[in-house]
Structures are given as structure tokens and as C-alpha cells.
Structure 1
Amino acid sequence: MAKVKKEGIMRESFGSWTRTGSPWVWLNAGAVAISVVMVIGLLALIAVRGLGHFWPASIIEADVRAADGSLHHITGELTDSLTVPAEQVRASGVAIPADQETVTRYLVKIGNRDVYGTDFRWVLKDQIENADYPEALMAVERREWGNFYGYLISVKQDGQVIAQQAVGENSIWPEFEKRIARALTIHEEIYQIEKHEIGRINYAMERLRLKQRSLELKGKDTPQAITEIQTERRVLDAEYKVLQQKLGDLYVEANRDSFVAQAMDGQQIEVSVSKVVRAFQPNMMHLGNKIVFYGEKLWEFMTDEPREANTEGGIFPAIFGTVMMVLLMSVMVTPFGVIAAVYLREYAKQGFVTRMIRIAVNNLAGVPSIVYGVFGLGFFVYFLGGHIDDLFFPEALPAPTFGTPGLMWASITLALLTVPVVIVATEEGLARIPRSVREGSLALGATKAETLWRVVLPMASPAMMTGVILAVARAAGEVAPLMLVGVVKLAPSLPLDGNYPFIHLDQKFMHLGFHIYDVGFQSPNVEAARPLVYATALLLVIVIALLNMSAVAIRNHLREKYKSLEM
């Protein structure tokens, strides 16, 4: 009897505990905790895999015994390891002890792609013999063909040897570094001339050509106007010839020096110093040197342009394009979303049509993004852009100006994609403002427009910023629609430069999301691209977080500013 009574009490206690809702609170708390742990774990994985790529790894020199018993020399970095079943290795003809169940494989970055045709090679741990880490081994990061690993033999100037050493020595390394520093200085001068000065002249020449064509179409190509254009063109031609002569001299200077190095198979290779980005000897570096090197590589990754099919160099154009597109999208989506929400909440008659519009807005938020991309390509690019070219840029036809994918159409497409989010968030903010606030303002003599502009909208501004934050978070990570309306693998120039009109909304641009897709799935060198995928993904998360934190800071400021109005 006591047992039955005790069970009844426990059942009643559990029932009352369940009715309080505590189980659901604990269930939600557990789900949130698991989600947070998973997100932190994912970010930690991306950070370790991505940021570890820039650390200067030691270079190993070893012999690898092949299946036939012969030895092959190998030099490179151990970049990854993988444990595989021994049976899988035995099937390839490699002798593995019968009692061994698993085998460890190392992925060695051997570099020297121009010599061996590949950057990476898988090696079994059991096949490695006589492993060593000689201090004289060097890694040379080149502008083409990836890294070169080997021993420095000699330094040449105009084909003549000016410094030489035996294999394994390190006496001419200071001379080698001095030549590299000189070549980098010349390369920077060449870059400035080609990218900026000659680029400015080419841009001005193209504008003169379009100006002359415009005069011809309008029938205003008088001899005086043509003479003025030809005079300007001659001035630009004279500047171009001076720069071209200077550029030729710099190229001669840049190609003056070269070096000879020995690869892992004993082959001696001569490389122009002008092709070298940096050379270093990681086996000689202490911790301080490695930290400095790591900082330089990380800074280069964030500020330099990509090279080698986006598997080397930096991703600054992609960072710039992503931020600029998101800012333009925010400027476009905010007024349209706010105006639509104000009309629906403050002016529209609440009835069947208004309910249908709200349902349509909510449904638009769930439309797949690629549909917006197809719409943007068909309507904005081909229809609207084509008519803009016919009306305002006939001199450039048949080459399109706005009738081709570009930054403006990408921003407008993403603004259209995210405007439902802003409408819903703003309308909810307007609905939370008490009716008494509006009536008090009207009672004091303010018009409805003044009440809306000076009272209602300031109080609803935190909700507007919430909508913008959600829009930024979604737009910054979208890739599918951008592939159709403006994003490219490699953009030759930034959409913002020193040439009039300074912001070139018709230009194509790079994007971090598309860069991840391109490097991860379209790269011809998968092993070299894999760590860059992680690094770029981490950077994209950081960029989105910074954009969101900026919007959150603005929202919090507005919330504090207008808190007194809500009380």
C-alpha cells in the first residue's frame, strides 16, 4: 500500500513538473548547447586546417624504398598523414608484414612542378629510410610552377657566376637574399607602371575612342572636335612611349640575376630571380623567425592578389568585392524594405489584398536563391541593362556596358533576395510601437507624416537594423545567384580605383564564397588548394561577423538613444 502511494506521489510530482514546462526548457537549453559546441568545433577545425597552412614546415630529405627494392631520393614538406588498411597497400604490390593491419601514408609536398609535373607525392611511412633535415635545404616560393625545394649552388649575374658553393653549404645565402630583395623592388616598380600608370592611360584612350564614336553617332564630329581628341591622344601616346621604354629597361634589370639549385634527383635547375617571391630555409629557423614568417604570409594572404589558378598568393580582391557588394546591397535594400513595411503597416487598408501581399512577401523569403539569379540575369542584365546600353552607351555597342553581369546587378539581385527579411523585421518593429505614442504626437499638432518621420521611424530603427543584419548575413554567403550576375574567377582590376568615375558598377568582381567554390572544386591542383579552402572559409566567416557586429553596434546605439521614447 505504501509502495502504491509512493508511486502515486512520484507520478503526481512528475506531472506537475511537466505542466510547468521545465522539461521543454531543459530540452531547448540542451539543443542550444549542442549547437554552440558544434559551431565552435567547426570553426576550430576550419581555423586549424586553414591557418596552419602558413606556418613554415620543416623540409625533410630521405630515401624511399620502392616495391622492387630500389631507393629513390625525396625532398619536401610533410603536409598530411593518413592511416589506411594494410590490405589496400598489399593490393598495390607493396610488401607489408602479415601481422600489420594498418599503414601510415604521408603526403609530401615535393614542389618543383616544372621538373616532376606534380607538387605532391604519397609515401608510405615504412618505406622511408635515412630521414634527415639538413639546414642548407631551401624552399623558394615562385610566381609560377609553385615552390622549389633543393640546395642553392650558385648565383649568377648576366649569365656569369658571381657566387658559388658546394651542396650542403650556406656561404652565399646573404648574397642570394640581397638579389631577391633587389628583384622584388623592381617587380613592385613594374607592377605600379603596368597596373596604375599604363592602366590609367589605356582607360583614358578608351574614353577618347568612345567620345569620338559618340560624336560620330550624334553628327557632331566636327574637324575642331576631332582635332581636340587627336591632340589628347597624342599626349597620351607620348606618355605611353615613355612608360614603355622605362618598363623595358626595368624588365632587363629584373632578368639580370639568376640562381642555380640542385633538386632532389641531383638535377641542377637555373631559375631567374625575378620569378622568386621569397626564399627561406625553414630547417634553420628558430621560433621567433617562424612567427615573423607566419605573420608575413598571413598578411600577404589578406592583402595580395591571387596567382597560380588562385592556389597561391592572396585573396584581397575577393575580400574587397564581398564587402563592397554587401555595402551596396544594404544601401539598396534598406530604403525599399522600410518604405514597403511603412506602407503596409501605416497607410494600406488592412484587408484581403494586404494579407495576400504579406503572404507573398513571406513566400519570397523561401524562394531558392538560384531563382533570383536567373531572374536577375534575364531581367536586370539582358532586359534592363540592354536597354540602358541602347539609351546611354550606344557608342560602346556592340560591346555591352551594363548589358552584361556586373557589380550593380549582383547587388540589386541580392537586394531583391533579402528585401522580404527587411520588410518583415521592420513591420514587426512598427507593430510594437504603442498606438498611444502616435495619438500623442497627433494631439500635439504634428501631421501623420511628421509623426511617422520624427517619432515612429526612430523608435522602429532597431528593428530595421535587425532586418539589415539578417539581410547581410544571408547575402554575404550567397554564391549561386552571383555566378550568374557578376562574380568571376579572377577580376583584372578592382571595381573601385582612381579612374573616373572611380566606382565602376559595370565591372565584374571576385567574391569569397565563389572563391571557395572555385578553389575547392575547380582547381587543377587539389592538394595545394585544400588548405586555402579552409583559410578562405574562415576569412568569410570573419568578414560576415564583422559586418554583423557593425550593424549590431549601430542597432544598440539606436536602441539606447530612443529608449526614453518607449517608456
Structure 2
Amino acid sequence: MKQSNFTTWFKSGSPWVWMNAGAVAIAVIMTLGLLILIAVRGLSHFWPADIVEAEYTIPGQPAITLLGEVTTREQVPTERLQGAGLPVDPEQNEFMDRELLKVGNRDLYGADFRWIVADWLSNERYPEDVIAIERREWGNFYGYLLSVSHDGEVVAEGEQAIDALQAAVERASGIYDEIHSLETGAIGKINTELERLRLRERGYELDNALTADRQAELEAERAVQNARYAELESELVDLYREFNRDSIMTRAMDGQEKRISLSAIVRVFQPNAMGITDKIGHYFAKLWEFVSDEPREANTEGGVFPAIFGTVLMVLLMSIIVTPFGVLAAVYLREYAKQGFVTRTIRIAVNNLAGVPSIVYGVFGLGFFIYFLGGNIDQLFFREALPSPTLGTGGMLWASLTLALLTVPVVIVATEEGLTRIPRSLREGSLALGATKAETLWKVILPMSSPAMMTGLILAVARAAGEVAPLMLVGVVKLAPTLPLNANYPYLHLDQKFMHLGFHIYDVGFQSPNVEAARPLVYATALLLVGVIASLNFAAVAIRNHLREKYKALEN
């Protein structure tokens, strides 16, 4: 009887249902676990950790003073430490604890991270007057503030120095913002206009049309721009002079004194003296800097806003390109093409294209779009800029087109599925009421299949936003000086190279000269990329659900 019940239960298919449910549950748990791991390791980087000062004594050597943040703790076999040349005895201890200490001050010590054996630390303390200085170069500085100087004269020292320093840093930050705005705004616009005048002059020369009148006109316009540039340059010199007037004298953990200009300082804080409220405020200020500022220090410090902007703009352009082509191809295959061997072959080819490795599309984009198409366009329309390429090099346009080719099979398949699900009676009813086939397609079929189109677009966005390999060949760069969308005519610069979050992760994780400093940013940027993709998909899902509800009554 029991055997019969088991056989019946097995034949009912319930084991396979439970097995599938278990597999889905495991996949969900693993995905959530991965996201939690990325979030914890990435977001914890922005918390202002306390700075420890301690004596470090290697057996047989004099004690030294260490100062820094403990970033990693781990237990390692003693034999590994012995292999690294440390005086340890594996017979006494099989394992020993070691810590990764961020000591900063890379300009003084050559490296800002140091592995230490935890058992050799003594007299650990957390002095409240120790300061952490975030710099534009050479990473963080950890030490003690001695004095603040203005034009070489000491204006504050001792306990009053930190208040004077905070006020001076705030003033210097305001001047830095003015300089950055001037250089990238007004001066950048003048440089763009001067380059445009140079190209116009070169174009006249190539056409043998550079007359005296045109030369005079160009010189007059150039004189206006140069005069404006001279005014801004004078203003810029004054700002730089004011920017470099203040400095501070500091003392590092080994007693070295170092003078630091305030022009090199981003932020100064005392983590050991901060309360929980101050630390939370500092944490969110660092988070905002991460998503709104430009990178610095070989992409291991600062923010990733140019990468966010480039990723979103590329995906939007790709969506604008791929949607009409994918929908038109699907409509032709389903509504107009004769269903036979050729059509079936085309569908098989489309499905196979979805499985082609992305790097192959990158090679195609490099060869066809950049070298062939872009090179010929430069010869026809941008001769005056040659030999410097305009469209004959990687850029936003070619990257978007390459990813559109990469994702168009997904849109075609999803749209075809949506067209197939529309009842035949709707088509016949529309035709019976006197509508033409084109009117039926435009006013009935396409609106009702729009949720399927959005499904295809969602899948396309999810794949395109995370692709890196083809972009490395057709336009993405480590650091782009300006955004591809700015205030300079023609505003949207499709020929310009750009930054991308996926490539930023690759660059920071595998090409960074400072691996330890870059590691937490890899997790933070990966979490941000997941968030950007999820936001784009949620927006598309919301539109799809709205369209589905709108046309549900017609389907019924």
C-alpha cells in the first residue's frame, strides 16, 4: 500500500515540482546573498573608521609607532608568515592573526597599506586629536595637525588650529569649485569656439576658398575669443593665487613633519572625536560624493558620476535605436513575409545571433562602424579635421549602434511573440469594418503588442547595460575629460568617448596600481551598476504594466 502511494505520488509529478521550487529558492538565496555581500563590502567603505595608534614590535627589532585604519583582519598559517621572512615559529602556533592597516601617507612611505601581525601590537590607543586628510593626490594623510599658515605666516596652532583649518578648507573648496566651473565652462566653451574657427579656416584652405575677406572675418572672430580668453585667464590666475595661499604643517606617525597646501585637500576630519551623528553625516556626504563627483587618484578615490552618466546615456541611445529596427523586423516577419523556408531560416539566424559572444559584435563594430563607415564619413564631411579622426574612432554613437546590434535579436523575438498572441478575430474585425491592413497594424496590432515590445526592451537593457567587452573596442575609456552631453554646441557629442560603470569595475579591479585601495570601490561600483540596471528595468516594467492594463479589455 505504501509502495502504491509512493508510486502514485511520484507519477503525479510532485517531486519535480518540489525540486524546481527548491532550485528556484536556492537561486534566489544565492542572488540575495551575493547582493548583500557586495552591499556590505562596498557601502562600509564610506564609514569613517577610527584611527588606531599602537606600538609594533617585530621580535629582534626596535619598536615602531603605527597609525592608521584597520581594514581587514584574518587568520593565516604561521608557515606563510615564515615564508614571508617574519621571525615566527610554526611549531608554537599553527595559525596567527594579521591585520591590514591603512597607514596612508603614500608620498612618505611609498605604500598606504601595510600587513602587520596582530600579536606584535601593544599599547593600542585612539587619540582624539589625530586627523585624517583626504587629498587630491597621494591618498589619505594620517597624523597630527601642528599649525595653519596663511601666506607663509602661522595664523593658528595647538587646539585652535583645527577650527581654523576647517574654515580654511571650506574656503579653499569654494575656490576650487570656481576654478573647475571656469575651466570646464567658459574657458572650455572658448576653446571649443577657437577649434571650430581653426577647422573652418582649414576647410576653406582645402576648398581653395580662403579669400582675404573670409580670413579677416575669421581673424576678427578669433580676436574676440582671444580677448575673452585673456580676461578669464587673468581671473583664473587670481583664483589660483588665492587657492595656493594657505597651508598646514603636520606630523606623521614616525615624527616626520610635512607641509600640505590646502589646494591639495578635499576634506579634513577627526574620526576618533566624532560622535555617531557626525559619523552618519560624514557617511552620507561620502556616498553623495561617490555618485555625484568625478574620479581622482587613478579612479581609486572620488566619485563615478561620469561613468553613471555615460552608462545611462548609452543605454537610452541604444534603446532608441534598437526598438524601431527590432519592431519593424518582427512586424515584417510575422505580418508581411511569406511563411516558408526563407522566413524560417531568418528566424533561426536571429535566434542564433542572440547567442553570439559579445566580443564578436565589438570586433564587427570596430571594423565596420569605426574603420569603414566612420573613416569614410571623415573623408567626406570632416576633411578639415584629418588626420585627427572625428567619427573614425570609438565614441558614443558607435558604442550605441554596436549594442543595438547585440540586442536586436531579443527585441525581434519578444515582439514576434507578442504579435502571435493577438487573436486573429481582432485583425478580421478591423478589416471588416473597412480599415486597411496598414491601419489595422498601426491602430490595433502594434498598440496591443506594445507590452511584448517593452518586454524585449527590458531584456535588451538588462544585457546591454552590463556589457563591457565590445565597449572596450568601440568607445569606452578609463577617464573621459568631459561628458558627452554638455553646454557646448552641438550639445550631444556622439563622436566623444565616454566612461562606463562596467568598464570602471574592470579598470579599478584589475588595472589599478593600488589594489587594496581599489577593492572596496569595486564592490561599491558593482552595487551601483546593479542599481542603475534595476532602475532602468523597473521604469520599463512600469510602462509595460500600464500598457498591459490598458489593452487587457481588448484582448478579452
Per the normalisation by structure 1, the TM-score is: 0.97
Q: 2:53 aligns with which of 53, 56, 61?
A: 61
Q: Which residue of 2 aligns with 1:526?
A: 515
CA–CA separation in structure 1 for the residues paired with 2:553 and 2:335 = 23
Return the offset for 1:163: 1.6
- List per-residue Cα deviations over 1:10-65 (Å, max 9, x = no partner): 22222222222211111111000000000000000000000000000000111100
CA–CA separation in structure 1 for the residues paired with 2:440 and 2:322 = 24
Q: Which residue of 2 aligns with 1:46?
A: 38
> 2:344 aligns to what SS in structure 1?
helix
Q: Which residue of 2 aligns with 1:4?
A: none
Q: 2:299 aligns with which of 290, 310, 313?
A: 310
Pair 1:142-2:135 in alignment = yes
Q: Which residue of 2 aligns with 1:202?
A: 191
Structure 1 gaps of 5+ residues are 1-8
Return the offset for 1:99: 4.0
- List per-residue Cα deviations over 1:430-469 (Å, max 9, x = no partner): 0111111100100000000000010011111000000000
Amino acid paired to 2:78: A
Name the % identity: 66
Pair 1:19-2:8 in alignment = no
Q: Which residue of 1 aligns with 2:323?
A: 334
Pair 1:474-2:467 in alignment = no
Q: 2:149 aligns with which of 156, 181, 187?
A: 156
Q: 1:73 aligns with which of 62, 65, 68?
A: 65
- List per-residue Cα deviations over 1:340-386 (Å, max 9, x = no partner): 00000000000010010000000000000000000000000000001
- List per-residue Cα deviations over 1:97-119 (Å, max 9, x = no partner): 84422111110000000000001
* Range with bigger deviation, 456-465 or 15-24: 15-24
Q: Which residue of 2 aligns with 1:546?
A: 535
Amino acid paired to 1:538: L
Q: 1:85 aligns with which of 77, 95, 114?
A: 77
Return the offset for 1:395: 1.1
Amino acid paired to 1:265: D
CA–CA separation in structure 2 for the residues paired with 1:493 and 1:291 = 32
- List per-residue Cα deviations over 1:281-337 (Å, max 9, x = no partner): 000000000000000000000000000000000000000000000000000000000
CA–CA separation in structure 1 for the residues paired with 2:548 and 2:211 = 62
> 2:519 aligns to what SS in structure 1?
helix
Q: Which residue of 1 aligns with 2:371?
A: 382
Amino acid paired to 2:141: F
Q: 1:282 aligns with which of 252, 271, 278?
A: 271
Amino acid paired to 2:20: N
Decide whether the 8 Å contact of 2:78 with 2:88 is kept in 1: no
Q: 1:372 aligns with which of 355, 361, 364?
A: 361
Amino acid paired to 2:131: M
Return the offset for 1:220: 2.7
> 2:520 aligns to what SS in structure 1?
helix
Q: How does 1:77-476 map to 2 (within 5 A)?
A: 77-91=69-83, 92-96=85-89, 98-165=91-158, 170-476=159-465
Amino acid paired to 1:77: E
CA–CA separation in structure 2 for the residues paired with 1:111 and 1:321 = 32
CA–CA separation in structure 2 for the residues paired with 1:172 and 1:501 = 49
Per the normalisation by structure 2, the TM-score is: 0.99
- List per-residue Cα deviations over 1:79-133 (Å, max 9, x = no partner): 1111101232244332358442211111000000000000100011101011100
CA–CA separation in structure 2 for the residues paired with 1:99 and 1:127 = 15
CA–CA separation in structure 1 for the residues paired with 2:206 and 2:109 = 57
CA–CA separation in structure 2 for the residues paired with 1:242 and 1:281 = 41
Decide whether the 8 Å contact of 2:130 with 2:144 is kept in 1: yes
Amino acid paired to 2:95: T
CA–CA separation in structure 2 for the residues paired with 1:459 and 1:19 = 40
CA–CA separation in structure 2 for the residues paired with 1:195 and 1:497 = 10
Return the offset for 1:225: 1.9
CA–CA separation in structure 2 for the residues paired with 1:26 and 1:93 = 54
- List per-residue Cα deviations over 1:499-525 (Å, max 9, x = no partner): 111000000000000000000000000
- Report the aligned-residue RMSD: 1.0
Amino acid paired to 2:461: V
CA–CA separation in structure 2 for the residues paired with 1:93 and 1:543 = 46
> 1:431 aligns to what SS in structure 2?
helix
> 2:98 aligns to what SS in structure 1?
strand
CA–CA separation in structure 2 for the residues paired with 1:235 and 1:20 = 86
Structure 2 gaps of 5+ residues are none
Q: Which residue of 1 aligns with 2:544?
A: 555
- List per-residue Cα deviations over 1:394-415 (Å, max 9, x = no partner): 1111111000000000000000
* Range with bigger deviation, 99-108 or 307-316: 99-108
* Range with bigger deviation, 462-471 or 212-221: 212-221
> 1:172 aligns to what SS in structure 2?
helix
CA–CA separation in structure 1 for the residues paired with 2:187 and 2:66 = 45
Decide whether the 8 Å contact of 2:131 with 2:268 is kept in 1: yes
Q: 1:515 aligns with which of 485, 504, 514?
A: 504
CA–CA separation in structure 2 for the residues paired with 1:507 and 1:284 = 46
CA–CA separation in structure 2 for the residues paired with 1:464 and 1:11 = 50
CA–CA separation in structure 1 for the residues paired with 2:356 and 2:471 = 15
CA–CA separation in structure 2 for the residues paired with 1:537 and 1:286 = 30
* Range with bigger deviation, 99-108 or 213-222: 213-222
Return the offset for 1:564: 1.3
> 1:494 aligns to what SS in structure 2?
coil
Return the offset for 1:175: 0.6
CA–CA separation in structure 2 for the residues paired with 1:31 and 1:97 = 44
Q: How does 1:28-39 map to 2 (within 5 A)?
A: 28-39=20-31
> 1:488 aligns to what SS in structure 2?
coil
CA–CA separation in structure 2 for the residues paired with 1:518 and 1:325 = 19
CA–CA separation in structure 1 for the residues paired with 2:366 and 2:376 = 14
- List per-residue Cα deviations over 1:223-270 (Å, max 9, x = no partner): 222211111110100010011111111111111110000000001000
* 1:97–1:390 Cα change, 3 Å: closer
